[in-house]
Amino acid sequence: MSKNAQAILDEIRALPAQELRVVWQELQRWLEAAPQASEVDDPIHSARGMFAGSRLNEALLASRAEERRRG
């Protein structure tokens, strides 16, 4: 966990119970509204079901290169 995330959690822990409930409810709403990853977004989706050694390594390397490119 990053230092920034840890600092946020420490602040949340310090909240009074009522404010903590409000924060929790907002987080739940935010998570429910967040888009779910689909198979189309899965860079390895096309490699699923391939036999070992048949372009699986190339697909993995291409996926990793794409992740590095995105940053």
Is there a single domain that holds both residue 7 and residue 26? yes
SS3 of 10-25: HHHHCCCHHHHHHHHH
Tens digit of pLDDT for each residue in 56-71? 778 888 888 988 888 7
Number of domains in the chain: 2
Residues 65, 48 share a domain:
yes
Taking only the tens of pLDDT, the chain with its 71 residues reads 899 999 999 999 999 999 999 999 999 998 888 777 665 566 666 666 656 566 777 888 888 898 888 87
Instruction: Please give the span between the terminal C-alpha atoms of the chain, in angstroms, as a whole number.
Output: 19
Tell me the pTM: 0.44
Q: Which domain holds residue 64?
A: 39-70
Give whole-number Cα distances, 7 to 2, 41, 46, 53, in Å.
9, 31, 39, 44
CA distance 10 to 6: 6
Q: What is the rounded distance in angstroms from the CA atom of residue 11 to the CA atom of residue 68?
A: 32
